[in-house]
Amino acid sequence: MSTDDREMERLLREALATEADMVHPEGDGLMRIQQRIGARNRQRRWLRPVLVLGSVVVVAVVAVGGVTIARHGDKAKVSPTNPGTGSDAFPAQGIFPFTTAAEEADWEQQYADGHSPWPSDPEAVATSWVPNYLKAKDVDQLVSKEQTATVADVTLGRDQSEGGLQPVVVVHLVKFHQAWIVTGASDPTDQLRISTPGAGDTVSSPLTVSGPGFGVDEVAKVELRDAETPSLIATAPTDGFGSGTSEWSTTLSFSQPQSAAGVVVAMTMSAADGGIAKLAAEKVDFGAAPPPSAGAAFYGVQGGVIEAFNESGRPEGPVALAGDEGTVMEVHKVGGRLYFTARTGDCITSLYSVAATGGTPAAVATADRDYGIVGFDVSTDGKQVTYFESSGCNQSEAGMGRLVFANLAEGTTRHIDFPSEPPVIVGDPVWEPDGVHVDAFVRTGMQGYLARYDATHGDNETPSHYACGEFDPATQLTGALTTDADGTLWFAGQTGSSMQVLSCKDGQPNVELTIPVNGSPTSLAVDLSGDILLTGSDGKVWLGSAGKTPAELPAGARVSSVTW
């Protein structure tokens, strides 16, 4: 360090001390803090005994844990159901990584080709499911494993700062062909159990969940999750359960999801650090999927909320969200679910998903600290997301970006750094249907190109320069990109006097639609029959298809993002 730097340090220290000495807090700080704490406690008086006694629970469990286990020993193991079905019938209570024999068969094919070996390892399946799908934070450490040729119990725990590794859950798995399938999970001490509904029951809203628990003025939390994606459908605390072993209960309300299978999860929290102490889970079925809501032909973002539009393009009313995610910025519909980004402060920090019929959104991905999500896409199977995050939303930092590929099933992410902007990805990066390649429009100052990335490489992947043959978009592309179900890449651009939609069939660009308005496309969606939706920077929505005259839809207020 130079003398100049030392001198600077001295100056700074002195300036800060002087400046700080001039700050004289009012004398009533403590009173104001106490008033606010008091007000909160009056509002929540019923919680107070639980909070105070909470610390006793840990002591009680540690002190009498052995006794309790012995007492419940005779019915301790909630063993995996139907372990004897062997490799012929898919386990009825199979939750993860597959819920049907067909899904498993698809994987067998990939496995034979040398891809995705993890479902063949019970430990890998358990450590993927609990933190990534049940979102049980930090419960990813192996405590023990018991395994036969057809059945495995994997006990996972959590590093608790002072108590070391604490067992939290026993994941039960059965072997089906070459895959290990989760069939349920129980509390390692078997104190917390779910007795209603039964594993494999068909459930509907309102759903009462109850079971025995052990503790002193303990409260459990119950969640209903989608079995096929890492999405929360509903959650509620239980009523308090008293001294010793007693019954807890709660009721969940939810809109019926599109997927067929769900997971009911019950958990208690550690009084020591607020993390998960015990967890039990079982599969439930949702029965036949509800008919798609009658009026919704497509969805869009209008005035910061997700709006359903009918076939004539008129708004039908917003999709009801039970959370407070903030101002919705962009929406995509994939397999009956809406994926959306929302903003609460300067930056769009999270990507959520919710049933297309509405409900409680679940966080799917979160931007790195100080980054905001600019554009995103979800793979057609809902298991991978890609997004471009930029620090440009935070004005005090220099602009840096990252293209992220997140595999939700495996809980892994890869990213490609954009150390200074430009170059920068404009609009959405989009998945090709192979779930391997991602196309994006990269702007390099005044110029740009259509890049094609391999998401399985990540880190230092150099993109193929052109995602569409030799097509060089130069400056006209806007970043309104999408892929249709056949894998064709579509993109929209501005030509000076009009907006154009191009498809990349057979690796070559074809102009499919020309909209005679001088504007910049902001969002593009193409459905199976080739119907094209486009929004421009003026917030108008256009509907067209190849060779037909496009029509402006009566969408009302500005629409900033559309999805079929």
Partner 1 sequence: MSALGADEAIVALYTAQYRSLVRLAALLLHDTAAAEDVVQDAFVATHKSWRRLRDPENALAYLRQSVVNRSRSRLRHLKVEDRKAPRPMPDAPSAEYGALNAVERSDVMTALRGLPRRQREVLVLRYYSDLTEAQIADALEISNGAVKSHASRGIAALRDSLESQR
How many angstroms separate the CA atoms of 136 and 458, rounded? 27
CB of 35 vs partner 1, minimal distance in Å: 10
What mask of x and - would describe binding to partner 1 in positions 393 to 432, judged by CB under 8 A?
-xxxxx----------------------------------
Other CB atoms closer than 10 Å to residue 500's CB: what's the count?
Answer: 18
In this chain, which of 311, 346, 417, 486 binds partner 1, going by CB under 8 A?
346
CB-based contact 254:361 (threshold 8 Å): no
CB of 5 vs partner 1, minimal distance in Å: 5
Which string of DSSP letters, residue by residue, matches 51-62?
HHHHHHHHHHHH
Strands 508-515 and 499-505: what pairing? antiparallel
Query: Does residue 102 sit in helix, strand or coil?
Result: helix
CB-count burial class (<10 Å; 0-12, 13-18, 19+) for 448: buried
Question: Should residue 372 be labelled a site residue for partner 1 when binding is judged by CB under 8 A?
Answer: no
How many angstroms separate the CA atoms of 381 and 383, rounded? 5
| Residue 519 DSSP symbol | -
How many angstroms separate the CA atoms of 412 and 422, rounded? 27
Question: Should residue 36 be labelled a site residue for partner 1 when binding is judged by CB under 8 A?
Answer: yes
How many angstroms separate the CA atoms of 54 and 218, rounded? 7
In this chain, which of 18, 148, 460, 497 binds partner 1, going by CB under 8 A?
18
CB of 274 vs partner 1, minimal distance in Å: 4
Instruction: Mark the segment that binds partner 1 (CB under 8 A) among 142-150, 174-182, 388-396, 549-557.
Output: 388-396
CB-based contact 539:558 (threshold 8 Å): yes
Question: Should residue 327 be labelled a site residue for partner 1 when binding is judged by CB under 8 A?
Answer: no
| Closer of 397 and 434 to partner 1 (Cβ) | 397
3-state helix, strand, coil in the chain (%, to 5): 15, 40, 40
Question: Should residue 55 be labelled a site residue for partner 1 when binding is judged by CB under 8 A?
Answer: yes
Question: Should residue 25 be labelled a site residue for partner 1 when binding is judged by CB under 8 A?
Answer: yes
How many angstroms separate the CA atoms of 378 and 180, rounded? 26
Q: Which of residues 183-202 bind partner 1 (CB under 8 A)?
A: none
CB of 277 vs partner 1, minimal distance in Å: 13
CB of 16 vs partner 1, minimal distance in Å: 4
| Closer of 36 and 77 to partner 1 (Cβ) | 36
Distances in whole angstroms, Cα of residue 117 to Cα of each of 88, 110, 434: 21, 9, 18
Question: Should residue 32 be labelled a site residue for partner 1 when binding is judged by CB under 8 A?
Answer: yes
Instruction: Mark the segment that binds partner 1 (CB under 8 A) among 19-27, 69-77, 329-337, 477-485.
Output: 19-27
| Closer of 325 and 531 to partner 1 (Cβ) | 325
**Amino acid making up residue 187:** D
Question: Should residue 102 be labelled a site residue for partner 1 when binding is judged by CB under 8 A?
Answer: no
Q: Which of residues 263-322 bind partner 1 (CB under 8 A)?
A: 271-274
Q: Which of residues 241-260 bind partner 1 (CB under 8 A)?
A: none
Question: Should residue 51 be labelled a site residue for partner 1 when binding is judged by CB under 8 A?
Answer: yes
Bridge partners, residue 414, by sequence: 405
Tokens 């249907």: give the residue. 433
Question: Should residue 146 be labelled a site residue for partner 1 when binding is judged by CB under 8 A?
Answer: no
| Closer of 9 and 239 to partner 1 (Cβ) | 9
Question: Should residue 465 be labelled a site residue for partner 1 when binding is judged by CB under 8 A?
Answer: no
| Closer of 334 and 393 to partner 1 (Cβ) | 393
CB-based contact 413:407 (threshold 8 Å): yes
Of 396, 483, 381, whose CA–CA distance to 438 is shortest?
483
| Closer of 44 and 457 to partner 1 (Cβ) | 44
Residues touching partner 1: how many (CB under 8 A)?
A: 44
CB of 498 vs partner 1, minimal distance in Å: 36
Chain-centroid distance of CA 482 in Å reads 21
How many angstroms separate the CA atoms of 125 and 532, rounded? 40
For binding to partner 1 (CB under 8 A), which residues are involved? 1, 4-5, 8-9, 11-26, 29-30, 32-34, 36-37, 40, 51, 54-55, 271-274, 345-346, 369, 394-398
